[in-house]
Amino acid sequence: MDLTQMQRRLVDYTSSLFREGYLDDQFTQLQQLQDESNPDFVFEVVTLFFEDSQRLINELGEALDQQNVDFKKVDAHVHQLKGSSSSIGAQRVKNVCVIFRNYCEERNTERCMRCLQQLKHENSLVKTKLETLFRLQQQILTAGGSIPMWSE
């Protein structure tokens, strides 16, 4: 595959992630903060996010596993995850958090547990998607090309 084909593939792949709702405009904001002096900015922030989201997902699992669920605690964790997913543009994860918080308010353990499953799923999905994105970018860089900027 030549450089132009690789770049085309990256643009198409990225567009699909936006189209399918995995990413929103906030991700583009992060891309715009990356430059020659901060070439790994997006990767850095995304890595921090997944470390944090895993921690929060683990804590949510523990919190919901209790005899008497502390919904305030559960809500606090979800609020954090909602914030960070919103900050990096992980739209689907954020959307699950919004619904999750409603069930916290209702003190509905069953529904909360289902939301947690959904969160795990969406978190894992977007992680895989972004790993693919970074791999495609790296291929281009290794081949001596530059990463094309797409327009919103």
Binding site for other proteins (CB under 8 A): 26, 29-30, 32-33, 38, 41, 44-45, 48-49, 52, 79-80, 82-84, 86-89
Per the structure block, which two tokens stand in for 91? 């739209």
For residue 87, CA distances in Å to 31, 81, 116 come to: 12, 10, 20
Pick between residue 79 and residue 114 the one whose CB is nearest to other proteins. 79
> Which residue number, 95 or 139, has a Cβ lying nearer to other proteins?
95
**How many whole angstroms separate alpha carbon 86 and alpha carbon 38?**
22
**Any idea what DSSP says for residue 148?**
P
- In the bound complex, what is the minimum distance in angstroms from residue 68's beta carbon to other proteins? 22
Smallest gap from residue 91 Cβ to other proteins (A): 11
